[in-house]
Amino acid sequence: MAHAGADRPIPPGSAPRRMSSGMRLLLGNEFGLAVLILLTAATFALTLDGFTSPFSVYTIGRQIGIDTMIGLAMMAVIVTGGLDLSVGAIGVCSAMLFGWLMQVMGVPVLVAVPLAVLFGASLGFVNGFTVVMSGVHSFIITLASMSIFFGVMIFLTKAAAFNGLPPQVQAFGKMRVLPGISPLLLITVAVCAALVVFYRYSTLGRQMLAAGANARAAELSGIRTGRVIVACHMLTGLLAAIAGLMVTARTGAAVPSMAGQLGQDWLLPAFLAPVLGGTLLSGGRVSVIGTLLGATFINIMTSGLLLMRVGEFWILAFLGMMLLIAVLADRTRQIFLTSRGMI
Amino acid sequence: MAAIRDSALTRAFDNDWIGPGLVSLIAVVAISMAQPAFLSSFNIFVLMSAISVNMVIALGQLVIIGLGQMNLALGSIGGLVAISFVGVIERYGVPVPLALAFALGIGIAAGMSSGYIIARTMISAFIITLAGLQIFKGINLGITEAQPFYGVPEAVKTFGQASVIGPLPWLMVPMMICAFAMWYVFNRMRIGRHILAMGSNPHAAELSGIDPKATIIWAHAISGLLAAIAGLMLVARLQIGQPTIGDDWLISSFAAPVIGGAVLTGGRVSVAGTFFGVVIIAIITQGLVMFNIDPFVVQIVLGALILWAVAVNRLREVRIARVQARGAGA
């Protein structure tokens, strides 16, 4: 994309006009989103009965936790300029393995969780390895793998749910840590913190950003981009698996249809949250906090609209509009900033 | 000697449809030998109906693949068109020809609007059509509340069930018209050449005077029209205005063109190849049913077929490039 360079981090000293960090914060996606969230939340709280009820706050928070995790999973691969259509399929497959391990094999919960998460990462490895080996765009590879993963899962489970999970799983999904706070949201916040540190300070995280911003330059400076891209896909699989387990905890059962046909229902939240949060689709730039804020905004809007008795189905169309507006606003912002010589 | 054999071989492989055509033929022979019922007139009728609808769907994706983009909203446009068509007839008693024009208009408008936004902003088609998918599907479900419309006129029902001659369904007629039209567009019309030129090298295309915006909008409008036709054909075939029409088009719409030799980065498509891609998918699906294999296996096979086709296309590209390089050296 022609404008891809516009949003890259500014190397110190080379910017036409250096911005103060305060200015950069004000122009960033995160700040705008935070203001938007505060405004909508305040409006809904004042005008809608029941929006601030403990139950409503609790369920919105829990759903924010899940949607953010799905968004982070996609973000981890968007970094490379690629994408992963199979996030939903990986999430469901990991959740089904989780259910099978506990219900059929009698594996204790604390052992089943890491196994399921590792399984998600290994499915991500399959994607990443195939993408790097074939040199074909990740769109078509993950289109194929979403069909294969989901097909194998349905074939093995006979499309039946695992309902007899240990009671701790459901209890965890219904638990309140503080009044109105779900542990699922806390897990997400912890993962966000870990990812911020990972992308900012770890070698692998920085290599991921470099490979995504300019694969050739990264290769020339000694980064083995192939391995890095495989690692990105593994991270995607791992986060998708965590999201799958979170949904399992919420419903109290591992259900094959939890992400829709082929896991397609996860695609919208997966792209909406990172794009709202300012992650560039062409790669090279991530915003973990932006993704969290994006998911927060979506869920506040959705529950507000539901309370206003806007039909559930129209909300789907509304979210699509929101994705459109988000990318259009982002493009306008880039053009504006470029024309003012600010980036 | 070696050079001649090599070039003949390359030329054969260069025809995108020969490989998939041979595979289709072998599959038909093999399955009908194992299961003679495969060639029963009832089975051929069912098979041809499925092929007809899926071919039009695949053509809708093929146009956009030629452009080097993708259209995730294809299925949701088809679904929206299907329920709008039956909806206006059932609710408002609109005559069938008018309803047809209205429905096709929706398809074209939906395609054009995504094309317009993509052309205007140059944001990736993936994200715009993903948004389109949600919007069209949301409108569809908002109108129907997930309940089908039953008021399909008798004429349309008959069209979906009747046969032209023997086991060949009427549904083949729109399919053949669309296939011929798309072959004509790609091979004989300026807009088709422009689409392929944009797909193979957008920069060069623009420098040689092609209007990129108009080309993108046209391609998406054609795609929307084909999605609409496919949606209407499914209404005729299913006999109801089902809101779920289009939900499962995504994978097969990419699988058939790719099996038919289309290069996903754009610029190279084959209508005949796509047809055999559709045939292969239909035969395998039908074959699995005949041998009482779990229908979910179809998903796995479809995914594997895409990977296989991608690998074959890559190998062929390498081979063609090598021969061309040798030719240039000599």
Q: Residue B316: what residue type? A: R
pLDDT, tens digit (0-9, with 9 covering 90-100), for A95-138: 999 999 999 999 999 999 999 999 999 999 999 999 998 888 89
Q: Is residue A272 part of a domain?
A: yes
Taking contacts as CB-CB distances below 8 angstroms, the residues of chain A near B304 are 144, 148
Domain count, chain A: 1
Q: Is residue A41 part of a domain?
A: no
The answer to whether the CB atoms of A317 and B134 lie below 8 A apart is: yes
The answer to whether the CB atoms of A316 and B137 lie below 8 A apart is: yes
Q: For chain B, say whether A111 makes contact (Cβ under 8 Å).
A: no
Residue of B63, B34, B103 whose CA lies nearest to B241: B103
Q: Is residue A75 part of a domain?
A: yes
Q: Residue B311: what residue type? A: A
The dihedral built from the CA positions of residue A9, A13, A16 and A20, taken in this order, carries a sign that is: positive
pLDDT band, residue A2 (cuts 50/70/90): very low
Q: For chain B, say whether A136 makes contact (Cβ under 8 Å).
A: yes
CA neighbours closer than 13 Å in the CB half-sphere of residue B213: 6
Q: Which DSSP string corresponds to B72-93?
A: TTHHHHHHHHHHHHHHHHHHH-
Q: Which of B117, B248, B254 sits opposite A143 (nearest CB)?
A: B254
Q: Is residue A98 part of a domain?
A: yes
Q: For chain A, say whether B121 makes contact (Cβ under 8 Å).
A: yes
Taking contacts as CB-CB distances below 8 angstroms, the residues of chain B near A264 are 250
Q: Is residue A280 part of a domain?
A: yes
The CA-atom distances, in angstroms, between B324 and each of A319, B19, B264 are 49, 20, 21
Cβ B167 vs Cβ B42: under 8 Å: yes
Measured between CA atoms, how close is B139 to chain A, in angstroms? 6
- What is the predicted ipTM? 0.83
Residues of the domain holding A259: 60-336
Q: Residue A335: what residue type? A: I
Measured between CA atoms, how close is A179 to chain B, in angstroms? 35
Token pair, residue A34, equals 């935070």
Taking contacts as CB-CB distances below 8 angstroms, the residues of chain B near A327 are 121, 123, 127-128, 131
Q: Is residue A34 part of a domain?
A: no
Q: Is residue A245 part of a domain?
A: yes
Q: Is residue A173 part of a domain?
A: yes
Instruction: Say yes or no to pLDDT of A315 above 70.
Output: yes
**pLDDT more than 90, % of chain B:** 60
Residue of B131, B132, B142 whose CA lies nearest to B106: B132
In angstroms, the CA A161 to CA A203 distance is 41
DSSP structural state of residue A28: S
Measured between CA atoms, how close is A136 to chain B, in angstroms? 8
Taking contacts as CB-CB distances below 8 angstroms, the residues of chain A near B83 are none
The CATH number of the domain holding residue A165 is 1.10.3470
Beta bridge partners of A162: A254
More confident residue, A262 or A232: A232
Report pTM. Answer: 0.88
Taking contacts as CB-CB distances below 8 angstroms, the residues of chain B near A331 are 121, 123
The dihedral built from the CA positions of residue B250, B252, B257 and B258, taken in this order, carries a sign that is: positive
pLDDT, tens digit (0-9, with 9 covering 90-100), for B79-102: 999 999 999 999 999 999 999 999
Q: Which residues of B239-263 are buried (b: 16+ CB within 10 A; e: fewer)?
A: bbbbbbbbbebbbbbbbbbbbbbbb
The answer to whether the CB atoms of B303 and A148 lie below 8 A apart is: yes
